[in-house]
Amino acid sequence: MLSPAILIPAIINGLLIGAIYALIALGLTLIYGVLHIINFAHGALLSAALFAAFFAFRLLGLDPYVSVFLLAPAFFTLGYVLQRFIIGPASHGDDRNMLLVTLGLAVIIENALLYAFRADTRTIDVPYAFQTINLGFTFLAVPRVVGFCAVFAVAFALWVIMTFTDTGRAIRAVAKEKLGAQLAGIDVAHVYAVTFGLGTACVAIAACLLIPTYYVNPRVGDAFVLVAFTIVVLGGMGSVPGALVGALLIGVAESLSGLFLGESLGQIGIFLIFIVVLLVRPSGLFGARA
Amino acid sequence: MDTDPLLAVSDLHAGYGETEVLHGVDLAVGKGEIVAVLGSNGVGKSTLNRTISGVLRAKRGSIRFAGHAIEQEKPPKIVMRGLIHVPEGRCVFPNLSVRDNLDLGSYRRARDHRQQNRDGVFGIFPRLAERQSQSAGSLSGGEQQMLAIGRGLMAEPILLILDEPSLGLSPLLVEELFALIQRINQQGIALLLVEQNVVQSLEVAHRAYILENGSVVLNGASDQLRSDPNLKRAYLGL
């Protein structure tokens, strides 16, 4: 058996990685909870956001932790416009069609990135990329700690929006009772677009937290979104606490199975946990029972 | 009837997809009036409501409210004009608290008077005040109906459409409901009451329309309709 000296750092690292997954999953589950569709463009938008953060650093010299304050609103706007003027109208009033439109959008975005930037993998150099915090028994990578804190700040901000603002209440109302919401004067198309915008802003924030230690290429988002989708199902479709808890669980599972089975088999742990949870609780950890 | 009615529906055709449900309905509601639309299940009552409130688009005909043509307008605009529709089946937000449900009633209109109107609604429905932090999904059917009406009142309606409000309520609650309808009307709010409950609706309404197969077959003052031999036979079982 491995000693706690190895196990505990692995768990902590898993939690730190899980937080970034949580942010991507949060966007996905938010959109699913309100629009009732899987956003297939989520991965492509993450790739696009990583490119945006990359070029903000290379061309404008903006540190990702600074450019996040520009990219989050920019991607909120992008998501809003995509939903309001492309996905929504193209689905002609049938919500199920939106799923197909997001799939088409994913193909377009990925290929546009491929055309513009080729398949090259790019990285940025920031001074704090390899800085660590010494806890005595282990070292924590600074970018991961920043990421972890930022994710919980974002989750808290989302909770405040959802609970205390009329826009947040309207989003929750539309999620469960569309006709009632319309008759209360809530513009459903606007609420859909705001929700899609919030989900896209989550992706942009995740990109800025990832880029200091990660790389970018036109397909990089897909790997994350596969994990994020697993988390969304694991936590319960549309459940925000489910996404957070599920993501941390998945992060730890990945880290531990990496430790026991070797780095290249790390993701096996994710899917093992996934299968077990679905066998025992098909609606997910926080999902409403059917 | 007023020479310039608050709501004037004329030659309204509407339906779902290719299917036409309403075949040229004419109807009017005067300021401060209670008007009932009566008919059994499936004659187009809910279609009529949904078309008036803009959820469904009219295929033909016109809807005028307070002097404006509204048949091309969307629900948020229509709500802003003060035409509020409380739908059949209540459609409260089950995942939101009672208080948040009410507050969303003033999402589009009368937001500045939110607190004061909420207190007003709690005055009418003390039960909602007791349960204001409970989720709406945990309320009984009767309480949900109160909440749906309360949410409608939060927007300071000029015309309130109530779609089958008595559906699924106990006889005692139905009595209370019809008393409430008169109380709302006394505040100067016009009501369009869409009901299957013919006897009680005719007691509170000033005038009524009888809808059959998507057309108005009979209309007039409530007193007059109550003694109409055809209506008696068809709806009152006399």
Please report, for residues A92, B54, B65, B74, the alpha-carbon distance to residue B71 in angstroms, rounded to integers and kept in the order given.
Answer: 20, 7, 9, 8
Which of A169, A176, A183 is the closest to B53 by Cβ?
A: A183
The answer to whether the Cβ–Cβ distance between A176 and B94 falls below 8 Å is yes
Q: Which residue's entry shows tokens 């049938």?
A: A94
State residue B32's pLDDT score.
94
Vertex A165, ends A161 and A167: CA angle to 5°?
90
Residue A242 falls inside a structural domain: no
Q: pLDDT below 50 — which residues of chain A?
A: 290
Q: β-pairing, B7-16 with A139-141?
A: unpaired
Alpha-carbon torsion (A58, A64, A70, A76), positive or negative: positive
**Does the ipTM exceed 0.90?**
yes
Which residues numbered 152-171 in B keep a CB inside 8 Å of some CB on A? 155
- Give the separation between CA A200 and CA A283, rounded to whole angstroms: 25
The token pair that represents A154 in the structure block: 């974002």
Residue A236 falls inside a structural domain: no
Residue A93 falls inside a structural domain: yes
B191: part of which helix (H) or strand (E)? strand B190-195
- Give the separation between CA A8 and CA A50, rounded to whole angstroms: 31
Residue A161 falls inside a structural domain: yes
The residue among A155, A176, A135, A130 whose CA lies nearest residue B135 is A176
- Give the separation between CA B202 and CA B45, rounded to whole angstroms: 16
State residue B2's pLDDT score.
46
Residue A8 falls inside a structural domain: no
- Give the separation between CA A269 and CA B129, rounded to whole angstroms: 50
| Closest Cα in chain B to A167 | B107
State residue A113's pLDDT score.
96
State residue A290's pLDDT score.
44
Which residues of chain B are within 8 Å of residue A180 when distances are taken between CB atoms? 87, 90-93, 148
Which residues of chain B are within 8 Å of residue A184 when distances are taken between CB atoms? 79, 104-105, 107-108, 151, 155
The answer to whether the Cβ–Cβ distance between A166 and B87 falls below 8 Å is no
B226 CB near a chain A CB, below 8 Å? no
B95 CB near a chain A CB, below 8 Å? yes
What digits encode the pLDDT tens for the residues B20-58? 999 999 999 999 999 999 998 888 999 999 999 999 999
What digits encode the pLDDT tens for the residues A41-72? 999 999 999 999 999 999 999 999 999 999 99
Residue A172 lies in domain: 24-221
Torsional class of A115: left (φ above 0), alpha (ψ -120 to 50), beta (otherwise): alpha
State residue B121's pLDDT score.
96
Q: Which residue's entry shows tokens 């040229």?
A: B24
Residue A237 falls inside a structural domain: no
What digits encode the pLDDT tens for the residues B180-199? 999 999 999 999 999 999 99
Q: pLDDT below 70 — which residues of chain B?
A: 1-3, 236-238
The answer to whether the Cβ–Cβ distance between B108 and A180 falls below 8 Å is no
Which residues of chain B are within 8 Å of residue A288 when distances are taken between CB atoms? none
Q: How many domains does chain A have?
A: 1
Residue A243 falls inside a structural domain: no
Helix locations, B57-140, DSSP H? 75-80, 98-105, 114-124, 126-130
The answer to whether the Cβ–Cβ distance between A186 and B104 falls below 8 Å is yes
Which residues of chain A are within 8 Å of residue B93 when distances are taken between CB atoms? 172-173, 176-177, 180-181
What residues contact A121, with CB distance under 8 A and at least 6 apart? A215, A216, A217, A220
B118 CB near a chain A CB, below 8 Å? no
Chain-wide mean pLDDT for chain A?
92
State residue B3's pLDDT score.
62
Residue A78 falls inside a structural domain: yes
